[in-house]
Amino acid sequence: MKAKELAHILLQYPDLDVLVDGYEAGYEDIKAVAVGQIIENYHIEDYYGPHELISEAKKRAKNQAAKEAIILKRTIVGHFGKQAFEKVLHNG
């Protein structure tokens, strides 16, 4: 989904909360919004999401082109490892 498609949907409901899936169940508030480089279809295992935030090592190992994406997080950026984002738009 492109940002303009999501914005179009969200603007139809300006007063509603926006949530994301919980870790195992339930729903959570969005804690962070960031922009990062991803590799599409990086994972083949069905228990992972298919796309992956990249590091240069992963980029070289898979030899795939990266693309920029907006990432909605249920954890505050910086509290979940060393994944780096180009830009943090909102951080809890």
Q: What is the pLDDT of residues 4-27, one digit of tens each?
A: 999 999 999 999 999 999 888 999
Q: Which domain holds residue 54?
A: 3-91
Q: What is the mean pLDDT of residues 37-44?
A: 87
**Domain tally for the chain?**
1
pLDDT digits (tens, 9 = 90+) for 51-90: 888 876 677 676 778 889 998 888 776 655 445 677 777 7
Query: Residue 18: what pLDDT?
Result: 94
Task: Report the amino acid identity of residue 49.
Answer: G
Query: Residue 9: what pLDDT?
Result: 95
Query: Residue 89: what pLDDT?
Result: 76
